[in-house]
Structure 1
Amino acid sequence: MTTKDIGNRGEDVAVSFLRDKGWTILERNWLCPYGELDVVGQTAEGLLVFLEVKFRSSTKFGGGLAAVTPAKLKKMKRASALWMQQNRPRISSTRNEYPCVRFDVIDVGPEGIRHHLEGVL
């Protein structure tokens, strides 16, 4: 099994978790010059959320949350701005404004979701 396969399994677990909470998944593995957005979702309340999903088989070195560096968050912020620009008609309200946005990290392990850290930026 490749690293990409393992990452995809972690994202599958995260997406299932989010859908169970009533979220709509708008995008998975969106690529751009700034990097990749693992998951773009919308909460039941309409909040737009950009998620970084990290799968780690153990927490020996801090788990998935420790793997999200300031540099990764900067790339995530840039990629999300481009995603919103390209998807404006899809996400704009009737007043032609962007919805509220949040950045989250989900830590996934062999046992499932370890942490869902909301509002990392």
Structure 2
Amino acid sequence: MAHHSSSHYPDIGALGEDLTTQWLKSIGWTILHRRWHCRWGEIDIIAEREDDSGTVILAFVEVKTRSTGNWDAGGRMAIALPKQAKLCRTAAMFLATFPQKADYPCRFDVAFVCCQRKITQANALANLSASGYYLTLQEYIPAAFEYSIDN
């Protein structure tokens, strides 16, 4: 049995973020940062878009990439209250670092990406094939939870 170093395998999380980033751009979002981090944690994608009224909206996007038949309901269990609180603190640090964006309406979105070793046809918002893996953006939830710095 051959043992491969971890660098032999693609970073599935990064591929899921790539797919989500591509999809967000295709629907009019501008990507400001990928994997923005501070002492509180990391935000996978930070994006902005002007709505129909001309208001700029800031989205902090958490991407959960999972294989089929995973243990945590496609990543849903990983967005529990402690993770939400961590994302809120990290977003607050982002807004403190970029005060020119502090007055923008903010929301927390969650993207669920499914990753498989072989290509299958599925109903998906978007898909990506890379390094022998097939990824599909299964669900995107805008404003998945409320913004609160006090958490």
> Would you call these one fold, judging by a TM-score over 0.5?
yes
5 Å matches for 1:1-121?
A: 5-45=11-51, 46-61=56-71, 62-89=73-100, 91=101, 98-110=103-115, 111-119=135-143, 120-121=145-146
Deviations 1:54-76 (A, max 9, x none): 10011443102222121111000
The Cα shift of 1:16 comes to 0.5
Partner amino acid, structure 1, of 2:85: K
Extract structure 1 runs of 4+ deviating beyond 4 A: 1-4
Identity %: 32
Residues paired across the two proteins, number: 115
Higher helix share: 1
The Cα shift of 1:112 comes to 1.0
Residues 104 and 118 of structure 1 are in contact (CA less than 8 Å); yes or no, is this contact kept in structure 2? yes
TM-score (norm 2): 0.70
Q: Which has the larger radius of gyration?
A: 2
Deviations 1:31-67 (A, max 9, x none): 1111101110012422101011010011443102222
| 5+ residue gaps, structure 1 | 93-97
